[in-house]
């Protein structure tokens, strides 16, 4: 202040601005060495990769970072903004095979700068997956009120057996209108108490994957019940998604409610995605869409654009495994908006590379939007990861069947052939197949009977009320109790032969 007094600036706008800059600079200079919360004890770092490690310190100071799996560390200089970032190799040639099975650890991460030092303990090298979406991804093993998860008791009681191999980083940051630099969370071993609160889909996936690959698996659970897809994206991402002007206008007309889940752009991206961008990961698990069902004509564009934008931000082509919405009455079991939306969801797998969906058509519940069969969803995701990302030969065809052709016969039946069902098509426990409809020229659909032909590849569908069918649909209502699946248990998702708008 005396310095400013001499310049006669204490009461001027310029003087106060200069003082603020001086105080800000002093604060940066005094900033202690620290790491992003992602690099806490029990962290899992993506193996066979070059992983980013970052934090903050005194501007201009040298920073040295070394993992105990490597003989040499790396150095960098803290930037003027107080941040620093380095890249560490976790590839086989740099990892000691002596410590831990297959060189997975546990290891220590050492960071030092300007006379300060930090040590992160019990670091494992393994597989990291980002688990995002809304409530069906968020739903914990212990369930929600009045809504349980199948196998929860067994999962909690047996969690201690794999607590060190399955690790959780659970992000709970509130809405943010501008990007933040860090999240308030730490890595945890999935002891029974931690497993109980963990995402059921994420936990079941991680446990299966860990056992299959014989390595630790870390899940970054970043899910928010009720959230639309827009909060997971920036406005720039949305504007570049290829939406029509009307679709953009409708989307931006949504008003944020302070006491509700996020619905408008950037509010989750800023607080939960931006701070973890670049953390080494193998891929993304996504279970979202219910809150966007009013956008059946543009959700596929938004979902595809989000994935491509996240990949660009991470600087890698992260595989994307996502779940189609499960059957549920949504206020009217005979309504058809859910299957139309699911049809839109499926388009992402055709639109961008390294994207696969899993079907939940036999796993829904008429009276709750949160079906209890989370393990079955996770198993399908795990099968997809094992086959398409880790190259494991599974011995079964895990692709969901799709309608390949339909022939309307003179006897009034419809003969359907599906893809990916080589002698593999059946109904649950050989019961009557539920979920088919036929329509004639009047475009009025009637429930129909269906049976699997002798070859296991073909379906014959009939309806006495539709003697001359021109269209066939399967599972094309919000809730039908549809039960067609492959004998391996892979559900057949909704399909239709027509292109009608209703």
For residue 457, what pLDDT is reported?
A: 78
What mean pLDDT do residues 331-344 have? 96
6 in any annotated domain: yes
Beta bridge pairs of residue 452:
459
Are 469 and 374 within one domain?
Answer: no
Q: Which of 170, 93, 163, 90 is nearest to 125 (CA)?
A: 90
pLDDT level of residue 31 (50, 70, 90 thresholds):
confident
Are 420 and 483 within one domain?
Answer: yes
Question: Could you tell me the two tokens for 250?
Answer: 């409708």
61 in any annotated domain: no
Total number of domains in the chain: 3
The answer to whether residues 187 and 169 touch, using CB atoms and an 8 Å cutoff, is: yes
Are 354 and 413 within one domain?
Answer: no
For residue 16, what pLDDT is reported?
A: 47
> What's this model's pTM, rounded to 2 decimal places?
0.92
Are 421 and 480 within one domain?
Answer: yes
pLDDT level of residue 33 (50, 70, 90 thresholds):
very high
CATH code at 359?
A: 3.40.50.1110
User: Is residue 488 pLDDT above 90, yes or no?
Assistant: no
The answer to whether residues 216 and 125 touch, using CB atoms and an 8 Å cutoff, is: yes
User: 17 versus 384: which is more confidently predicted?
Assistant: 384
Residue 397 and residue 357: Cα distance in Å, rounded? 14
39 in any annotated domain: no
For residue 20, what pLDDT is reported?
A: 46
For residue 421, what pLDDT is reported?
A: 82
What mean pLDDT do residues 217-246 have? 97
Annotate 381-440 with DSSP letters as a single string: HHHHHHHHTS----SS--SPP-EEEEEE-TTS-EEEEESS-TT-EEEGGG-----EEEE-
- Total number of residues shown for the chain: 502
User: 5 versus 194: which is more confidently predicted?
Assistant: 194
Q: What letter does residue 18 receive in the DSSP assignment?
A: H
CA dihedral defined by 301, 302, 308, 311, rounded to 10 degrees? -160
Question: Could you tell me the two tokens for 114?
Answer: 């300007």
Domain boundary among 356, 388, 420: 388
Are 421 and 374 within one domain?
Answer: no
pLDDT level of residue 71 (50, 70, 90 thresholds):
confident
Question: Could you tell me the two tokens for 382?
Answer: 């795990």
What mean pLDDT do residues 135-161 have? 96
Q: What is the pLDDT of residues 98-120, one digit of tens each?
A: 555 568 999 999 999 999 999 99
What mean pLDDT do residues 357-374 have? 96
432 in any annotated domain: yes
Are 370 and 467 within one domain?
Answer: no
User: 419 versus 75: which is more confidently predicted?
Assistant: 75
Residue located via tokens 């027509």:
498
Are 255 and 193 within one domain?
Answer: yes
449 in any annotated domain: yes
What mean pLDDT do residues 16-26 have? 45
Q: Given 3-state DSSP classes, what are the helix, strand and coil percentages for the chain, each rounded to the nearest 5?
A: 30, 25, 45
The answer to whether residues 265 and 230 touch, using CB atoms and an 8 Å cutoff, is: yes
Contacts of 96 (CB under 8 A, 6+ apart): 69, 70, 103
Are 231 and 355 within one domain?
Answer: yes
For residue 26, what pLDDT is reported?
A: 46
Residue 469 and residue 411: Cα distance in Å, rounded? 10
24 in any annotated domain: yes
4 phi-psi bin (left φ>0, alpha ψ -120 to 50, beta other): alpha
47 in any annotated domain: no
What mean pLDDT do residues 171-177 have? 97
What mean pLDDT do residues 347-355 have? 97
Domain that holds residue 201: 127-388
User: Is residue 25 pLDDT above 70, yes or no?
Assistant: no
Angle of the 337-351 helix axis to the 299-314 helix axis, nearest 10:
40
Are 336 and 459 within one domain?
Answer: no
Are 369 and 422 within one domain?
Answer: no
501 in any annotated domain: no
Are 349 and 483 within one domain?
Answer: no
Write out the H or E segment, with its range, that includes residue 473.
strand 471-474
Q: What is the pLDDT of residues 112-145, one digit of tens each?
A: 999 999 999 999 999 999 999 999 999 999 999 8
3-state secondary structure of 208: helix
Domain boundary among 388, 421, 437: 388
Q: φ, ψ for residue 172 (rounded to 5)?
A: -130, 25
Residue 419 and residue 493: Cα distance in Å, rounded? 12
User: Is residue 18 pLDDT above 70, yes or no?
Assistant: no
Q: What is the pLDDT of residues 429-464, one digit of tens each?
A: 556 899 999 999 999 999 999 998 877 678 999 999
Q: Which of 268-277, 368-377, 486-495 has the lowest mean pLDDT?
A: 486-495
User: Is residue 91 pLDDT above 70, yes or no?
Assistant: yes
To the nearest whole percent, how much of the chain has pLDDT over 70? 90
The answer to whether residues 472 and 461 touch, using CB atoms and an 8 Å cutoff, is: yes
Q: Which of 2-11, 139-148, 240-249, 381-390 has the lowest mean pLDDT?
A: 2-11
Q: What is the mean pLDDT of the chain?
A: 91
Q: Where are the beta strands (DSSP E) in 6-89?
A: 34-35, 44-46, 50-56, 62-67, 74-77, 83-89
Q: What is the pLDDT of residues 465-487, one digit of tens each?
A: 999 999 999 999 999 999 999 88
The answer to whether residues 356 and 388 touch, using CB atoms and an 8 Å cutoff, is: yes
The answer to whether residues 447 and 464 touch, using CB atoms and an 8 Å cutoff, is: no
Can you give the C-alpha Rg of the chain in angstroms?
26
For residue 430, what pLDDT is reported?
A: 56
CA angle 224, 227, 230 (to 5 degrees): 125
Q: Is the dihedral of CA 376, 377, 378, 379 positive or negative?
A: positive
Residue 463 and residue 442: Cα distance in Å, rounded? 15
Are 487 and 340 within one domain?
Answer: no
Q: Which of 349, 348, 373 is nearest to 361 (CA)?
A: 373
């Amino acid at each position: 202040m005396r310095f400013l007094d001499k310049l006669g600036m204490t009461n001027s706008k310029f003087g106060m601005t200069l003082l603020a800059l001086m105080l800000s600079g002093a604060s940066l200079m005094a900033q202690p060495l620290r790491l992003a919360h992602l690099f806490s004890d029990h962290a899992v770092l993506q193996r066979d990769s070059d992983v980013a490690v970052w934090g903050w310190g005194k501007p201009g100071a040298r920073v040295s970072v070394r993992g105990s799996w490597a003989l040499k560390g790396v150095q960098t200089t803290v930037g003027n903004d107080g941040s620093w970032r380095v890249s560490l190799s976790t590839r086989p040639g740099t990892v000691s095979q002596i410590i831990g099975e297959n060189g997975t650890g546990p290891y220590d991460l050492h960071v030092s700068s300007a006379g300060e030092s930090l040590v992160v303990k019990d670091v494992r090298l393994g597989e990291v997956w980002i688990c995002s979406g809304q409530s069906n991804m968020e739903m914990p093993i212990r369930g929600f009120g009045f809504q349980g998860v199948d196998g929860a008791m067994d999962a909690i009681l047996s969690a201690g057996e794999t607590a060190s191999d399955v690790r959780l980083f659970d992000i709970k940051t509130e809405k943010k209108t501008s990007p933040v630099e860090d999240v308030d969370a730490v890595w945890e071993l999935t002891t029974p108490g931690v497993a109980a609160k963990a995402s059921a889909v994420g936990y079941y996936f991680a446990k299966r994957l860990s056992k299959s690959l014989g390595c630790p698996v870390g899940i970054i659970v970043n899910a928010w019940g009720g959230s639309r897809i827009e909060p997971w994206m920036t406005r720039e991402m949305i504007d570049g998604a290829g939406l029509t002007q009307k679709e953009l206008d409708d989307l931006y007309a949504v008003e944020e409610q302070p006491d509700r889940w996020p619905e408008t752009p950037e509010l989750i991206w800023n607080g939960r995605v931006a701070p973890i961008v670049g953390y080494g990961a193998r891929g993304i698990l996504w279970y979202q869409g219910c809150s966007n069902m009013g956008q059946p004509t543009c959700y596929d564009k938004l979902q595809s654009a989000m994935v491509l934008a996240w990949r660009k931000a991470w600087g890698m082509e992260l595989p994307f495994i996502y779940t189609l919405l499960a059957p549920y009455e949504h206020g009217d079991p005979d309504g058809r908006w859910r299957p139309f939306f699911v049809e839109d969801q499926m388009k992402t797998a055709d639109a961008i590379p390294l994207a696969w969906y899993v079907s939940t058509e036999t796993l829904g519940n008429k009276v709750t939007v949160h079906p209890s069969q989370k393990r079955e969803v996770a198993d399908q995701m795990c099968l997809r990861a094992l086959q398409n990302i880790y190259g494991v030969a599974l011995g079964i065809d895990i692709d969901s069947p799709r309608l390949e052709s339909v022939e309307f016969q003179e006897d009034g039946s419809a003969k359907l052939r599906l893809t990916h069902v080589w002698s593999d098509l059946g109904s649950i426990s050989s019961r009557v197949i539920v979920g088919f409809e036929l329509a004639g020229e009047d475009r009025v659909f009637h429930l129909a009977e269906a049976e699997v032909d002798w070859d296991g590849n073909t379906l014959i569908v009939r309806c006495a009320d539709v003697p001359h069918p021109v269209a066939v649909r399967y599972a094309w209502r919000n809730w039908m109790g549809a039960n067609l699946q492959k004998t391996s248990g892979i559900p057949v998702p909704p399909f239709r032969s027509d292109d009608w708008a209703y």
